[in-house]
Amino acid sequence: MKSKKIIAGLVLVLFAITMVAGCGGDKAPAEKPGEKPASVKVGLNAELSGNVAQYGIAVANAIELAFEEINAAGGADGIKLEVVKYDNRSENAESLNIATRLASQDEVAVIVGPVTSSNAIATIPVSEQFEIPVVTPTGTALDITVDPKTGETRPFMFRTCFIDPFQGQVAAQYAAENLGLKTASVYVDNNSDYSKGLEASFKEAFEGFGGEIVSVEGFVIEDRDFRSTLTKIIGANPEAIFIPAYEEQVSLIISQARELGYTGALLGTDGWDGTKVSEVNTPEALQNAFFTNHYSPESTDPKVIDFVKNYTEKFGSTPTALAALGYDAAYVIADAIAKAGSADPVAIKDAIAATSGLVGVTGTITLDAQHNPIKSAVMLGYNEEGKQTYVETINPK
Amino acid sequence: MDIFLQQVINGLSLGSIYALIALGYTMVYGIIKLINFAHGEIYMIGAYIGFFAITALGIGFFPALIISMVGCAILGMVIEKIAYKPLRNSSRIAALITAIGVSLFLQYTGVFFFKAEPKVFPKILSDGRMNIFGTKAYISYQQLTIFVVTILLMLLLQYIVHFTKTGKAMRAVAYDKDAATLMGINTNNTISMTFAIGSALAGAAGVMVGVYYSAITPLMGVMPGLKAFVAAVLGGIGIIPGAFTGGMILGLIEAMVSGYGNSLYRDAVAFFILIVILIIKPTGLFGKNEKEKV
């Protein structure tokens, strides 16, 4: 009886060993070192449904467009790029699940997305556990690439857009210097890291320019009625209201603020980009409203003109900044895969970190030591027809 | 003072929406003791019916309102026939779970057909607003329309319930279903009718919200549905004037907390007040303490 147990135990241990060994074997790249793979799988973890679906869809479209172009031109230095795409339903938990699935089941070499900061932050553990680079095209929160506790750069997390503090700073600089405003209120989305991060940087920068923040109020993402809080904000008579939030809420906030008789400046960030703000609001309501953004489709740069033309032909709408960032992220990855010349995630990670002087549609991209790109921002406003229009390019002080 | 007046207007327009949805909850509860969690989704579908009626048929606000109410009434009756009627004699918890199932089914059917992206509701009511007695408070024509329509519908409902044969049958079935059946009342038709009326009110609320907030999504029914349920309980579930009052009170509380307290605690305070009222008066504001029938 006892010997049987021991044998059973031994079998179990052996079994376990083979399993571990088996796993190890799987992880090693199939090719010999130095030999280029024919294709590399790129995972796409995008918000294709849910609250911020319009962003996820735009980014996914642009990435697929970019990969099609790259593959049509012979691939990334001869390596074809294959996209494995899943929907994370705009949820943190699902973003984590999708990242795990891409890394473990689909064995992709690099993951693009998620699109929003909160969802991107949720995937950090996967990047570390599976040692796989995660590139968020549009997640602007500082903590995505830098651990706030230790101040160290997260080795496998990257972004191809500028960071939150930068946008808050640009908006504050525009309000204080270009518009000459002295007082402002901030109205934030309480559940969003993106919004909270921008609140902090706007406040600091605006006060740095000698302005005064008269009030800070918050809303939650399910809200559709902002009138009560807006009535309170307007009661304090700020010259500007800074609303670092996403278009679905922003479009309603703008119309309700104007309906309550507010005529001061409404300032925002790239979350405003998209078609909803113009669709919901009358052109009159959008006068004296401005937001920071990554690029303007009105640019005369030939690269932008081509991108806008190809995107519009394929998807029937003008690409938003989110789409432009997705497009650039795809090129950053293709560039890194070409340089690494392999499907090894660690080699690709090192190549992404070394990205320098890559000309994209949102500017020239060079990643700094904290995996953030260095580039300028544009300020957009609305014309008499209520359509987005380029105001000026801001280089932060 | 101006700001206070403005907050009252904000609160009452929000409250009107809650009240219209709460009426449906309360009527259904009154007659078959079921908390119809799918009610918020009927409101959502009402908004979409209104949206398609306006964009595809190019009709005005009031015809769209009526089409949406008719559509929702039919939907309410169909849901009752398919999902709730077979369970009428099983445990209440079975019916409740089914209601949650229907709610999720409608939400995600909505996501499938209407897509998750918010749709922009066409502006069919004037954006104008007017001053109130020369103060700095404004009431928009949209808000005015919401008040007037809500009050008219409420009066119509009171008329149906108290002065028509259907209403009499509804009250009888609510009082004692078996006795009503014995007296020759067609209980099934009466329950169907109750769902139809309640759903029509939710449909009306859906269209008005579409106009008021200009954006509709397939998941828009969740939060208002929950809040309206709270409003119904607050007023005393099963009691029609209670649902109306409960909705208005909830809207006002939310506006006042956002306006004078901290906007972050709005929902917390609203639900806290609900808990306090239920501790003091468990049957709700209009509820009577009934002895259990033997």
Q: What pTM value is reported for the model?
A: 0.71
pLDDT at A99: 94
Window 39-58 of A, Cβ < 8 Å to B: 49-50, 53-54, 57
Window 232-261 of B, Cβ < 8 Å to A: 254-260
Residues B177 and B198: their CA atoms lie apart, in Å, by 19
Q: Is the pLDDT of residue A292 over 70?
A: yes
Asked whether the beta carbons of residue B254 and residue A228 sit closer than 8 angstroms, the reply is yes
Q: Is the pLDDT of residue A84 over 60?
A: yes
Q: Which two tokens stand for residue B4?
A: 């206070």
Please list every residue in chain B whose beta carbon sits closer than 8 Å to the beta carbon of residue A88: none
- Residue A194 domain flag: yes
pLDDT at A15: 52
Smallest CA–CA distance from B143 into chain A, residue: A259
Do residues A323 and A227 share a domain? no
Asked whether the beta carbons of residue B214 and residue A217 sit closer than 8 angstroms, the reply is no
Which DSSP symbol is given to B67?
A: H
Do residues A152 and A179 share a domain? no
Smallest CA–CA distance from A247 into chain B, residue: B118
Q: CB-side exposure of A95: number of CA atoms within 13 Å?
A: 28
Do residues A128 and A243 share a domain? no
Q: pLDDT tens, A174-220?
A: 999 999 999 999 999 988 888 988 999 999 999 999 999 999 998 88
The pLDDT confidence band at residue A9, using thresholds 50, 70 and 90, is low
Q: Which one-letter amino acid corresponds to residue B216?
A: I
- Residue A6 domain flag: no
pLDDT at B270: 77
Three-state DSSP state, B68: helix
Q: Which residue has the tokens 């939907």?
A: B75
The pLDDT confidence band at residue B75, using thresholds 50, 70 and 90, is very high
Q: Which residues contact A157 (CB under 8 A, 6 or more apart)?
A: A120, A124, A127, A133, A134, A136, A144, A145, A371
Establish if B176 touches chain A: CB-CB under 8 angstroms.
no
Three-state DSSP state, B181: helix
Residues B201 and A1: their CA atoms lie apart, in Å, by 74
HEC string of chain A? CHHHHHHHHHHHHHHHHHHHHHHHHHHCCCCCCCCCCCEEEEEEEECCCCCCHHHHHHHHHHHHHHHHHHHHCCCECCEEEEEEEEECCCCHHHHHHHHHHHHHCCCCCEEECCCCHHHHHHCHHHHHHCCCCEEECCCCCHHHCECCCCCCECCCEEECCCCHHHHHHHHHHHHHHHCCCCEEEEEEECCCHHHHHHHHHHHHHHHHCCCEEEEEEEECCCCCCCHHHHHHHHHCCCCEEECCCCHHHHHHHHHHHHHCCCCCEEEECHHHCCCHHHHHCCCCCCCCEEEEECCCCCCCCHHHHHHHHHHHHHHCCCCCHHHHHHHHHHHHHHHHHHHHCCCCHHHHHHHHHCCCCEEECCEEECECCCCCECCCEEEEEECCCCCEEEEEEECCC
pLDDT at A31: 47
Asked whether the beta carbons of residue A218 and residue B120 sit closer than 8 angstroms, the reply is no
Do residues A155 and A173 share a domain? no
Structurally, how many domains does chain A consist of? Answer: 2
Do residues A179 and A58 share a domain? no
The pLDDT confidence band at residue A33, using thresholds 50, 70 and 90, is low
Do residues A101 and A66 share a domain? yes
Q: Is the pLDDT of residue B141 over 50?
A: yes
Q: Which residues contact A22 (CB under 8 A, 6 or more apart)?
A: none
Asked whether the beta carbons of residue B209 and residue A276 sit closer than 8 angstroms, the reply is no
The pLDDT confidence band at residue B165, using thresholds 50, 70 and 90, is very high
Do residues A308 and A226 share a domain? no
Helix (H) or strand (E) holding B119: strand B119-120
Do residues A284 and A187 share a domain? yes
Instruction: Kindly report the length of chain B.
Output: 294
Establish if A228 touches chain B: CB-CB under 8 angstroms.
yes
Task: List the domain boundaries for chain B.
Answer: 15-221
- Give how far the C-alpha of residue B194 lies from the chain's centroid of Cα atoms, to the nearest Å: 13
Q: pLDDT tens, A304-317?
A: 899 999 999 999 98
CA nearest B288: which of B228, B242, B249, B232?
A: B242
Q: Torsion angle of alpha carbons A172, A177, A181, A182, nearest 10°?
A: 80
Q: Is the pLDDT of residue B82 over 50?
A: yes
Do residues A389 and A254 share a domain? yes
Asked whether the beta carbons of residue A231 and residue B10 sit closer than 8 angstroms, the reply is yes
Which of A51, A192, A225, A249 is the best substitution to test chain B (most B C-beta atoms within 10 A)? Answer: A225
How far is the alpha carbon of B206 from chain A, nearest alpha carbon, in Å?
Answer: 13
Helix (H) or strand (E) holding B215: strand B215-216
Q: Is the pLDDT of residue A6 over 70?
A: no
- Residue A23 domain flag: no
Asked whether the beta carbons of residue A228 and residue B223 sit closer than 8 angstroms, the reply is no
Q: Is the pLDDT of residue A241 over 60?
A: yes
pLDDT at B76: 95
Which of B214, B226, B262 is the best substitution to test chain A (most A C-beta atoms within 10 A)? Answer: B214
Residues B195 and B202: their CA atoms lie apart, in Å, by 10
Contact by Cβ (8 Å): A109, A70: no
The domain that contains A260 carries what CATH number?
Answer: 3.40.50.2300
Establish if B213 touches chain A: CB-CB under 8 angstroms.
yes
Please list every residue in chain B whose beta carbon sits closer than 8 Å to the beta carbon of residue A222: 222-223
Do residues A151 and A205 share a domain? no
pLDDT at A62: 95
Asked whether the beta carbons of residue B138 and residue A259 sit closer than 8 angstroms, the reply is yes
- Residue A13 domain flag: no
- Residue A265 domain flag: yes
How far is the alpha carbon of B196 from chain A, nearest alpha carbon, in Å?
Answer: 27
pLDDT at B223: 85
Asked whether the beta carbons of residue A259 and residue B256 sit closer than 8 angstroms, the reply is no
How many A-B residue pairs are in contact by the CB < 8 A criterion?
A: 79
Establish if B11 touches chain A: CB-CB under 8 angstroms.
yes
Contact by Cβ (8 Å): A65, A89: no
pLDDT at A163: 81
Q: Which two tokens stand for residue A361?
A: 């549609």
Contact by Cβ (8 Å): B206, B247: no
How far is the alpha carbon of B4 from chain A, nearest alpha carbon, in Å?
Answer: 9
Of B138, B214, B255, the CB nearest to A261: B138
pLDDT at A268: 94
Q: Of residues B38 and A27, which shows the higher confidence score?
A: B38
End-to-end CA, chain B: 54
Do residues A124 and A231 share a domain? no
Establish if B129 touches chain A: CB-CB under 8 angstroms.
yes
Do residues A260 and A384 share a domain? yes
pLDDT at A173: 92
Asked whether the beta carbons of residue B263 and residue A261 sit closer than 8 angstroms, the reply is no
Calculate the average pLDDT of chain A: 87
Smallest CA–CA distance from A254 into chain B, residue: B213
pLDDT at A23: 46
The pLDDT confidence band at residue A52, using thresholds 50, 70 and 90, is confident
Smallest CA–CA distance from B266 into chain A, residue: A219
Contact by Cβ (8 Å): B38, B109: no
| Domain residue limits at A347 | 39-162+300-366
